[in-house]
A and B are shown apart, each in its own frame.
Chain A
Amino acid sequence: MKPKFMLFMLVSILAAVLLSGCAGQAGFSNSWPGLASDGETAYLASGQYVYAVRLSDGKEIWRYPEEGGTSLQFIAQPVIAPDGTVVIGSAGSDHRLVALDPSSIDASTNTPAEKWIFTEAKNTWVAGALILDDKIFAPNSDGTLYVLDLQDGFSTKSALKKIELGGTLWAQPSTDGNLVYVSSVDHRLYAIDPETYEFAWESIDLGGAAPGSPLVGPNGNIYIGSFASEVIKVDPATGKVLLLTSTQGWVWGGPVTDGQNIYFGDLKGDLFAVDATSGSQSWFIQPDGPVVGSPLVVNENIVFATESGSVYAVDLDGKIVWQREVGGQIYTAPVAGTDQIIVAPMQAEFSLAILDTNGNQVLTFSPEK
Chain B
Amino acid sequence: MWDTLIIHPFTNVLLWIYSLLVDIPGAFGWAIILFTILIRAITWPLNAQQLKGAQAMQEMQNDKEWQAIQKKYAKDKEKLAQEQMRVYKEKGINPFGSCLPTLIQFPIIIGLYQSIIRALATAPLGMLQLARSVRSEIFGIPFLNAAALIPLNSRFLWMDLAVPEGIPLPFEVSFLPYGFPTLAIIVAITTYIQSKLTMPATANPGDQSAAMGKTMSIYMPLLLGYFALTFASGLSVYFITSNLLGIFQYAVTGRANWRNLLPGGDKQKSTK
Q: Which residues of A contact B102 (CB under 8 A)?
A: 8
Name B192-209 residues within 8 Å CB distance of A. 208-209
Q: Which residues of A contact B159 (CB under 8 A)?
A: none
Q: CB within 8 A of A211: which of B122, B127, B235?
A: B127
The answer to whether B223 and A31 have CB atoms under 8 Å apart is no
How many cross-chain pairs have Cβ atoms below 8 Å apart between A and B?
Answer: 110
CB distance from A135 to the nearest CB of B (A): 26
Whole-angstrom CA separation of A93 from B117 in the bound complex: 17
Q: Does A199 contact B (CB under 8 A)?
A: no
The answer to whether A31 and B124 have CB atoms under 8 Å apart is yes
The answer to whether A30 and B114 have CB atoms under 8 Å apart is no
Q: Does A172 contact B (CB under 8 A)?
A: no
Whole-angstrom CA separation of A16 from B113 in the bound complex: 12
The answer to whether A31 and B125 have CB atoms under 8 Å apart is yes
Instruction: Sort chain A's interface into a size bin.
Output: 35 or more
The answer to whether B99 and A8 have CB atoms under 8 Å apart is yes
Q: Does B30 contact A (CB under 8 A)?
A: no
B interface residues, tally (CB under 8 Å): 40
Indicate whether A22 sits within 8 Å of B114 (C-beta atoms), given known contacts A31-B124, A209-B147, A229-B147. Answer: yes
The answer to whether B106 and A15 have CB atoms under 8 Å apart is yes
Q: Does B230 contact A (CB under 8 A)?
A: yes
Indicate whether A168 sits within 8 Å of B151 (C-beta atoms), given known contacts A11-B106, A26-B117, A27-B123. Answer: yes
The answer to whether B128 and A292 have CB atoms under 8 Å apart is yes
Q: Which residues of A contact B51 (CB under 8 A)?
A: none
Q: CB within 8 A of B231: which of A19, A29, A227?
A: A19
Q: Which residues of A contact B148 (CB under 8 A)?
A: 207-208, 228
Q: Which residues of B contact A23 (CB under 8 A)?
A: 230-232
Q: Does B126 contact A (CB under 8 A)?
A: yes
CB distance from B207 to the nearest CB of A (A): 10
- Partner-B contacts on A (CB < 8 A): 1, 4-5, 7-8, 11-12, 14-16, 18-20, 22-23, 25-32, 75, 91, 124, 126, 167-168, 170, 185-186, 207-209, 211, 226-229, 250, 252, 267, 292, 331
Q: Give the 3 A-B CB pairs with smallest separation, nearest first.
A: A208-B147, A227-B147, A31-B124
